[in-house]
Amino acid sequence: MILTGIVLGTLAAAYLAFALLQVFRLGLSLHQALLYVPLKLAYRIDDGQIRLARRADAPVVYVVTHQSRLDPALMLALLPGDTLHILDERAARAAWLEPWRELARTIAFNAEHVFVSRRLVRVLKRKGRIAVYMPETVEPEVRAFRLYRAVARIALQGDARVVPIFIDGARRLPFSLIDEANAPRRLLPRLRIGAAEPLTVAELVSRAGAATPTASGAAFDRVAEVRSRVPYAGLTLFQAVQAASRRFGADRPIVEDVISGTLSYRQLLMAARIFAGRFARITAPGEPVGVLLPNSNGFALTLLALMSAGRVAAMVNYTAGPANVTSAVRTAPIRTIVSSRAFVEKAGLDDIVEAAKAGGGRFVWIEDLRDGISSFDRLVAALFWRNSVGAQHAGAPALIMFTSGSEGTPKAVVLSHRNLIANAMQVESRLAIGPRDFVMNVLPVFHAFGLLGGLILPLLTGVRTLLYPSPLHYKQIPQTAAKRRPTILFATDTFLAAYANAADDGDFSSLRFAVAGAEPLRASTRRTWAERFDTQLLEGFGLTEAAPVVALNTATHNREGSVGRLLPGMRMRLEPVEGVAEGGRLWIAGPNVMMGYMSADRPGQLQGLPDEWHDTGDIVSVDREGFLAIRGRAKRFAKIAGEMVSLGAIEMLAHTAWPEDRHAVVAVPDKRRGERIVLVTTADNAEPAELRRHGKQAGIAELALPQDIVQVDEIPIHGTGKTDYAATRRLALDRLGLANAA
């Protein structure tokens, strides 16, 4: 009995001491700390950011993303004791929650009803605090979004600050409120609490810059921003994939291709461990290593292996032409390139290999690396597959990618691990995706859109992805989709239109949605996919320098003719452009914006942004709800007789006149007016009179219409599906006999 008493006394003293530590650390009351300790120990809670919430000056509204039945207990134990918690009816009645409900005042409400009330406003006006628990959905429909309107209105009327709170890991608890198919359960998942600095609704609205969302939109964006910041914070991409394997299960199938089958997280990371050891022996820490591989499992494991080894993966665009490849290899500079003999032979890339060698690159063949694997290598990988080979730094460069060069020579863009993870999580906070989904990625992974949407995002969200080798297989891709039944597709307008032309009506019936980017989405393409496949196309906008997504439409926040709203955590500003009445030149800032460029005149030297802002070179307008519309590229404006004319707007006019064909508009020299506009089109029946008729209906001055129409069989495109305007302009100059005048 004495021994038992000593043991119990010691445990009680330790319990009390740990509770007192929480009082000192977080400023809790002793009562709160005593009830928080068991939760803290069971779930190893990372709670450092809760201090942001506790320190917020009243009046304040805490907006808690409600993911599990444990959330109210945690918040009752952690938020200041004078907070009024607005609980759902189930939490307000739950007997097990009674000890925590005694820590603060609570009231019940029915989430089906908007809960703006004078009582809550009075609480805030008396320098009070309230905590509201919002549905977890990332794409709230009208009914759910009313709650954000209500919260914004309460905060405005009470002149209160808003503090969003997100509990990462809560969705995986056994008593999660999320569908288990999208949130695999774990008995004791580790929890991390994220919070943001307190800001008033007016400050949230102005903070977005030119995006100027509504009050409810600003509140929603702030909640999404915290949601995107917490998972994988402070990790490299390799470490984040390791963490994802724990979240979703090491044996979960995660990546596959059409030749070698499917790999689970464990198999992928084991293979990456083996290859990382090889790369560590033949390259130096932080060295850029070229990757010249198709969409395949081999690419995925090579990417992770380089990051495990602490190397920088440099994407070699094998469709860019020999001159651009030589330039890229010299600019990075890349001394070692990982590729496949079988791929080079099958794709006929001997000229690209020679061009890379001319730039100073030496090739390491993946077949040789695979043949050299020993039983000991496999044993070490099986034991240490979760461990990296090289040092890991989240702020270090992770990728070097090259811009598409649609208007000239490609530039080298340096992206950090933070940039890549931030953008993936920003997209995840906008799109309702999860482990029940299956991505079919046809876009090349050497392009930022294909890499982020088709590989990085799925790896971090537990979404199985099929890496299809070429987007140009217009007949095979619909057939593959009919057989494999993907739910999400990433593509460009060019490819989507081509797939629809080749597909049978049921081929894409499994898709929940497809995300279109890299070029404008035509109304005819959108209509075809809706009518034939019952598939919603979500248009977005991005650039390599933003890793790459900047704005995105979603299933419930979707405006045709726009590219969606700015991603959470991003800011924008517009600078006036001569001759442009609506909109301005877009500048962006955010956690996903690149570290900087490398240029051909200073190879290997990172030229960082002079401040946090990046000039996109795009002309955009923004409506009152924050939806962006792209008006054109600054470089794609022509000056005709002193008037600024958007080539992109004329291109869309041509799409209106001949919707079934492809069009590109370029400017060429003109001795009399400085420049003149040329329409390059695949439409056999394209006539100036028809274009003038459509221009008159659209209110476009005849001065802005093309003076020449050049008919072609195909519009030049890059491997990513984007129009190659440089090649198109050369074609137009040649056809018009102006090559010597350019």
Q: Quote the CA–CA distance of 649 and 655 in Å, as a whole number.
A: 10
> Token digits for 128?
């009070």
Q: Quick one: what percent of the chain has pLDDT higher than 70?
A: 90
When pLDDT is cut at 50, 70 and 90, the band that residue 117 belongs to is confident
pLDDT at 634: 64
Alpha carbon of residue 111 to chain centroid: 30
Among positive and negative, which fits the CA dihedral 199, 200, 201, 207? Answer: negative
pLDDT at 418: 96
Alpha-carbon dihedral of residues 501, 505, 511, 515, nearest 10 degrees? 20
Edge to edge, the sheet with strand 614-622 lists 571-575, 584-589, 614-622, 628-633
Among positive and negative, which fits the CA dihedral 508, 509, 511, 512? Answer: positive
Q: Does 741 or 560 have the greater pLDDT score? A: 560
Lowest mean pLDDT segment, chosen from 42-56, 167-181, 213-227:
213-227
Cis before 548? omega within 30:
yes
State the pairing for strand pair 536-542/549-552: antiparallel
Q: For residue range 382-391, what is the model confidence (pLDDT) as tens digits? A: 898 899 898 9
When pLDDT is cut at 50, 70 and 90, the band that residue 640 belongs to is low
pLDDT at 734: 74
Flag whether pLDDT at 408 surpasses 60.
no
When pLDDT is cut at 50, 70 and 90, the band that residue 673 belongs to is low
What SS3 class is residue 491? strand
pLDDT at 740: 57
Flag whether pLDDT at 14 surpasses 60.
yes
**Helix residue ranges, H only, 503-640:** 523-533
Lowest mean pLDDT segment, chosen from 213-217, 348-352, 510-514, 602-606:
213-217
Flag whether pLDDT at 437 surpasses 80.
yes
Flag whether pLDDT at 725 surpasses 80.
no
Q: Quote the CA–CA distance of 565 and 568 in Å, as a whole number.
A: 9
In the chain, list all ranges with CATH 3.30.300.30: 641-741
pLDDT at 702: 63
In the chain, list all ranges with CATH 3.40.50.12780: 238-631
- What DSSP assignment string belongs to 181-226? TTS---SS---EEEE---EEHHHHHHHTBTT---HHHHHHHHHHHH
Q: Does 445 or 216 have the greater pLDDT score? A: 445
- N- to C-terminal Cα distance for the chain? 99
Q: Does 371 or 647 have the greater pLDDT score? A: 371
Q: Quote the CA–CA distance of 563 and 538 in Å, as a whole number.
A: 8
Give residue 47's identity as a one-letter amino acid code: D
Lowest mean pLDDT segment, chosen from 257-261, 271-275, 538-542, 601-605:
601-605
Flag whether pLDDT at 273 surpasses 80.
yes
Identify the residue whose tokens are 């917490």: 230
What is the domain class of 238-631 according to CATH?
Answer: alpha beta
| Number of H-type helices and E-type strands within the chain | 27, 33
pLDDT at 2: 81
pLDDT at 680: 82
Flag whether pLDDT at 292 surpasses 80.
yes
Helix (H) / strand (E) element for 421: namely helix 417-428
Helix (H) / strand (E) element for 574: namely strand 571-575
| CATH number of this structure's domain 641-741, picked from the four choices 3.30.300.30, 1.10.150.120, 3.30.310.40, 3.20.20.70 | 3.30.300.30
Q: Quote the CA–CA distance of 400 and 597 in Å, as a whole number.
A: 9
> Which CATH code is given to the segment(s) 2-229?
3.40.1130
pLDDT at 296: 93
Q: Which residues pair with 194 in a beta bridge?
A: 166
State the pairing for strand pair 336-339/412-416: unpaired
- What DSSP assignment string belongs to 86-117? EEEHHHHH-GGGHHHHTTSEEEEE-TTS----
What SS3 class is residue 266? helix
Flag whether pLDDT at 697 surpasses 80.
no
**Cβ burial, residue 209 (10 Å; 0-12/13-18/19+):** middle
Flag whether pLDDT at 87 surpasses 70.
yes
- Of the candidates 66, 85, 417, 663, the residue annotated as catalytic is 66
When pLDDT is cut at 50, 70 and 90, the band that residue 730 belongs to is confident
Q: Does 581 or 310 have the greater pLDDT score? A: 310
Flag whether pLDDT at 685 surpasses 80.
no
**Spatial CA neighbour of 190 closest among 39, 75, 387, 77:** 39
State the pairing for strand pair 488-491/513-516: parallel
Q: Per the confidence metrics, is the pTM higher than 0.75? A: yes
**Helix residue ranges, H only, 283-410:** 297-308, 322-331, 341-347, 350-358, 366-371, 375-384
Q: Rounded mean pLDDT of 433-458?
A: 92
Q: Rounded mean pLDDT of 474-501?
A: 92
Cis before 333? omega within 30:
yes
HEC readout, 590-621: CCCCCCEEEECCEEEEEEECCCCCEEEEEEEE
What SS3 class is residue 742? coil
Flag whether pLDDT at 668 surpasses 90.
no
pLDDT at 258: 87
Q: Please indicate whether residue 614 is annotated as part of the active site.
A: no
When pLDDT is cut at 50, 70 and 90, the band that residue 323 belongs to is confident
Lowest mean pLDDT segment, chosen from 45-59, 202-216, 231-245, 472-486:
202-216
Lowest mean pLDDT segment, chosen from 42-46, 102-106, 421-425, 688-692:
688-692
- Report the mean per-residue pLDDT for the chain: 86
Q: For residue range 370-381, what is the model confidence (pLDDT) as tens digits? A: 888 888 888 988
State the pairing for strand pair 192-195/161-168: antiparallel
**Helix residue ranges, H only, 509-596:** 523-533
Flag whether pLDDT at 435 surpasses 80.
yes
Q: Quote the CA–CA distance of 29 and 35 in Å, as a whole number.
A: 10
Give residue 719's identity as a one-letter amino acid code: G
In the chain, list all ranges with CATH 3.40.1130: 2-229
Flag whether pLDDT at 426 surpasses 90.
yes
pLDDT at 79: 95
What SS3 class is residue 311? coil
